[in-house]
């Protein structure tokens, strides 16, 4: 049994915080602990200690040719202890994906694409024959601890001529499945219209790319919020950022923030392309953008810890409490100026940087950058 003592840390309210981790679990949490351990990390009062960050929209099945990455490069190397792949794979290939991630240090989960092919090509929902209930149910039965949600990409290039039909089928599948799984819906260019999509979605379903700058987004051409958007939020649809190469626009986010229309979860939609070349880079950069918009750290951290843990039923993650998994992110916030770029090339000048320094996954500590 290996133990790790995290000493002289602070929580996001600037209060002292110490942790004792043992055998993959959190065994003690307090402002100050008087313990010994096999390993001690002394943070000298400078660094924040948070529940391990969860990124609920990534693409990390390495054998894909469009959107792929190494789970560890988007995960623990960037302060993210748990990644949830958002539909890269379907029933045809999710078994191989599961096999590949067994050797990774980062916790990896998957939302299964409602198309059995996954995102082999951009148009996975262009052929309704790829939506098969029995193969979907079988895959979920085969990997019940790995598959924690469903994914449907409902935008023009994905659905081709099928309109809203794939989403209606996805909702039918979701209701018929023997396990209760949340459905993440990607929104983008129409058809279908965003209003049609939100009509079909239910409470607990997750709408990713919520702050995109496209015509079929949440804003009218005059910059006001479309009138059905608040109705969707009131119904219980969860707004997820899903930054991505094309799906985060500062103006959309600024208007939403001014109108008290907030996302519940923050995610990257990262893959090797937008990780290496931007505008995503990593989850920390997405946090910097939320800080720039005016969100407090106390509002942002739940978006990458407790909220995704609740949405995807990861009941042992998302909190620093006795008995929870020993997943911890340790990070600094520094007063450096930095230019932030959104998915449409707009820039904003930020005065704060977010720098993860340790990822601790299941009690194993990794110093970031080494
Ligand atoms: Zn995506």
Give the pLDDT confidence of 26-78 residue by residue, as tens digits. 999 999 999 999 999 999 999 999 999 999 999 999 999 899 999 999 999 99
Residue 244 CA, ligand 1 centroid: distance in Å: 7
And the tokens for 216?
A: 């079929």
Spacing, Cα 60 to ligand 1 middle (Å): 10
Q: Beta 328-334 vs 48-51: how paired, if at all?
A: antiparallel
- Given a cut of 90, whether residue 370 has pLDDT beyond it is no
Q: Could you tell me the distance, in angstroms and rounded to a whole number, from the CA of residue 176 to the centre of ligand 1?
A: 25
Centre of ligand 1 to C-alpha 55, Å, is 12
DSSP label of 325? B
Checking DSSP bridges between strand 53-58 and strand 347-350, what pairing results, if any? unpaired
Residue 364: per-residue pLDDT: 97
Query: How much is the pLDDT for 33?
Result: 97
Could you give the percent of the chain with pLDDT greater than 90? 98
- Residue 36 alpha carbon to ligand 1 centre in Å: 43
- Distance (angstroms) between ligand 1 centre and the Cα of 177 equals 23
Query: Would you call 123 helix, strand, or coil by DSSP?
Result: coil
Q: How far is the CA of 15 from the centre of ligand 1 (A)?
A: 36
Residue 1 has pLDDT above 80, yes or no: no
Report the separation in Å between the CA atom of 209 and the middle of ligand 1, taken as the mean of its atom positions: 9
Where residue 214 falls (left for φ over 0; alpha for ψ -120 to 50; beta otherwise) is beta
pLDDT digits (tens, 9 = 90+) for 217-247: 999 999 999 999 999 999 999 999 999 999 9
> If pLDDT is split at 50, 70 and 90, which confidence band does 305 have?
very high
133-142 and 94-101 helices cross at what angle (nearest 10)? 20
What is the per-residue pLDDT for 209?
A: 98
Share of residues in the chain with pLDDT > 70 (%) = 99
Give residue 122 CA to ligand 1 midpoint distance, Å.
11
Going from the Cα of 56 to the center of ligand 1, the distance in angstroms, rounded, reads 10
For 105-121, write each residue's pLDDT tens digit: 999 999 999 999 999 99
Domains of the chain: 3-50+323-367 (2.30.40.10), 54-311 (3.20.20.140)
Centroid of ligand 1 to alpha carbon of 153 (angstroms)? 8
Question: What is the structure's pLDDT at 369?
Answer: 82
Query: Alpha-carbon distance 249 to 210, whole Å?
Result: 10
Neighbours of ion ligand 1 (CB under 5 A): 86, 269
The pTM of this model reads: 0.97
Question: pLDDT per residue over 158-213, tens digit each?
Answer: 999 999 999 999 999 999 999 999 999 999 999 999 999 999 999 999 999 999 99
Query: From ligand 1's centre to the CA of 130, what distance in Å?
Result: 19
Average pLDDT over residues 268-287: 98
User: Rounded to the nearest whole angstrom, what is the distance from the C-alpha of residue 261 to the centroid of ligand 1?
Assistant: 22
* Residue-averaged pLDDT of the chain: 97
Q: Single out the residue of 184, 176, 132, 127 nearest to residue 153, CA to CA.
A: 184
Ligand 1 centroid to Cα of residue 179, in Å, is 23
Distance, CA 27 to ligand 1 centroid (Å)?
Answer: 36
CA–centroid distance, 137 to ligand 1, in Å, is 22
Distance from the Cα of residue 12 to its chain's centroid? 20
Integer Cα distance of 139 and 114 in angstroms: 11
**Of the candidate ranges 222-226, 287-291, 299-303, the one whose mean pLDDT is the lowest:** 222-226
- Distance from the alpha carbon of residue 84 to the mean position of ligand 1, in angstroms: 11
Core vs surface per residue 335-363: b (16+ CB within 10 A) or e: eeeeebbbbbeeebebeebbebbbbbbeb
**Ligand 1 centroid to residue 239 C-alpha, Å:** 14
Measured in Å, residue 268 CA sits from the centre of ligand 1 at 8
The 10s digit of each residue's pLDDT in 13-38 is: 999 999 999 999 999 999 999 999 99
């Amino acid at each position: 049994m290996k133990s790790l003592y995290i000493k002289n840390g602070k929580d996001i309210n600037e209060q002292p915080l110490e942790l004792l981790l043992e055998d993959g679990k959190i065994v003690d949490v307090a402002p100050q602990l008087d313990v010994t351990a096999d390993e001690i990390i002394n943070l000298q009062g400078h660094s924040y200690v948070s529940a391990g960050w969860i990124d609920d929209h990534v693409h990390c099945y390495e054998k894909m040719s469009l959107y792929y990455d190494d789970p560890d490069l988007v995960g623990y190397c960037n302060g993210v202890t748990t990644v949830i792949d958002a539909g890269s794979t379907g029933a045809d290939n999710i078994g191989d994906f599961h096999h590949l991630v067994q050797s990774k240090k980062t916790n990896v989960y998957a939302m299964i694409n409602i198309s059995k092919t996954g995102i082999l090509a951009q148009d996975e929902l262009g052929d309704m024959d790829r939506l098969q209930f029995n193969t979907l149910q079988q895959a979920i039965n085969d990997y019940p601890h790995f598959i924690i949600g469903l994914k449907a990409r409902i935008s023009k290039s994905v659905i081709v001529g099928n309109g809203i039909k794939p989403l209606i089928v996805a909702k039918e599948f979701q209701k018929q499945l023997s396990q209760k799984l949340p459905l993440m819906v990607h929104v983008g260019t129409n058809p279908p219209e965003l209003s049609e999509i939100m009509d079909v979605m239910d409470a607990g379903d997750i709408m990713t790319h919520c702050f995109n700058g496209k015509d079929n987004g949440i804003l009218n051409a005059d910059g006001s919020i479309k009138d059905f958007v608040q109705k969707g939020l009131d119904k219980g649809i969860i707004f997820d950022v899903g930054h991505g190469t094309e799906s985060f626009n500062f103006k959309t986010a600024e208007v939403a923030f001014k109108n008290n229309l907030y996302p519940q979860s923050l995610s990257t939609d990262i893959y090797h392309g937008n990780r290496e070349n931007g505008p995503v880079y990593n989850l920390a950069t997405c946090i910097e953008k939320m800080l720039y918009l005016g969100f407090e750290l106390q509002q942002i951290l739940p978006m990458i810890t407790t909220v995704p843990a609740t949405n995807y039923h990861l009941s042992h993650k998302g909190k620093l409490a006795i008995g929870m998994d020993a997943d911890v992110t340790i990070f600094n916030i520094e007063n450096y100026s930095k230019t932030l770029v959104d998915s449409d090339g707009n820039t904003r000048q930020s005065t704060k940087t977010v720098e993860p320094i340790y990822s601790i996954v299941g009690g194993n500590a990794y110093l970031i950058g080494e």
